[in-house]
Chain A
Amino acid sequence: MRTVFYLVQKEFLQIFRNKTMLPLILVMPIFQMLLLSFAANYEVKDLKISIIDHDLSTASRQLTGKFAASPNFKVQSASFSFQTSMDEITQDQTDLLLEIPAHFERDLVREGHVPVSLSLNAINAQKAGLASGYANSIIRDFNAEFIAKWLPKQITQSAPSGQIEVTYSNWYNPRLDYKTFMVPGILGEIVSLIICFLTAMNIVRERELGTIEQLNVTPIQKWQFILGKFIPFWIISLFIMLVGLTVGKMVFDIPLLGSLWLVFGYTAAYMPCVLGLGFLISNFADTQQQAMFTAWFFILIFILMCGLFTPIESMPDWAQTANKINPIAYFVQFMRMVLIKGAGFQDIKGNLYTVLGYAAVVNALAVWTYRKRV
Chain B
Amino acid sequence: MQAIVVEQITKSYGAKGAVKALDGISLSVAKGELFGIIGPDGAGKTSLLRILATLILPDAGEAYLQNLHVVRDYKRLRSLLGYMPGRFSLYQDLSVQENLSFFAAVFGTRIEDNYDLIKDIYVQLEPFKNRRAGALSGGMKQKLALCCALIHKPEVLLLDEPGTGVDPVSRKEFWDMLQRLKSWGITILVSTPNMDEAELCDRVALLHNGRILAMDTPAGIRGSYERPLFAVRSDEMYRLIQDLRQWPGAYSCYAFGEYAHLALQQSLQGFDTQADSVMAELQQYLESRHHTGIEVLRAEPGVEDCFIASTKDR
Contact = CB atoms under 8 A, between A and B. Distances in A.
Interface in B71-107: 74-75, 78-79, 81, 83, 85, 87-94, 98, 102-103, 105-107
Interface in A171-229: 209-211, 213-220
Interface in A256-279: none
A369 B83 CA distance: 25
Interface residues of A, number: 22
A367 B108 CA distance: 25
Contact of B107 (A10, A210, A219): A219
Given A214-B148, A219-B79, A374 B56 contact: yes
A213 B85 contact: yes
B53 interface: yes
B106 A218 contact: yes
Contacts of A6: 102, 105-106
Contacts of A117: none
Interface residues of B, number: 28
Interface in A15-30: 17-18
Nearest to B102: A10
A217 B57 contact: no
B54 interface: yes
Q: Secondary structure of the B side of the interface?
A: loop
Contacts of A211: 89-91
Nearest to A10: B102
Given A217-B81, A219-B75, A209 B92 contact: yes
Contacts, number: 68
B91 A14 contact: yes
Given A6-B106, A10-B102, A216 B55 contact: yes
B16 to A, nearest CB: 18
Q: Secondary structure of the A side of the interface?
A: helix
A373 interface: yes
A280 interface: no
Interface in B99-156: 102-103, 105-108, 148
A3 interface: yes
A13 interface: yes
A164 B148 CA distance: 83
Contacts of B53: 217
B85 A219 contact: no
A13 B107 contact: no
Nearest to B85: A213
A274 B142 CA distance: 38
A210 B55 contact: no
A3 B106 contact: yes
A7 interface: yes
A10 B54 CA distance: 24
B93 A14 contact: yes
Nearest to B105: A6
A369 B102 CA distance: 27
B103 A218 contact: yes
Nearest to B78: A219
Q: What 8 A-B pairs are tightest by C-beta distance, nearest first? A: A6-B105, A210-B89, A214-B89, A217-B83, A219-B79, A218-B106, A213-B89, A219-B78
Interface of B: 53-57, 74-75, 78-79, 81, 83, 85, 87-94, 98, 102-103, 105-108, 148
12 contacts: A2-B108, A3-B105, A13-B98, A14-B93, A17-B93, A210-B89, A214-B89, A214-B90, A217-B83, A219-B75, A373-B54, A374-B55
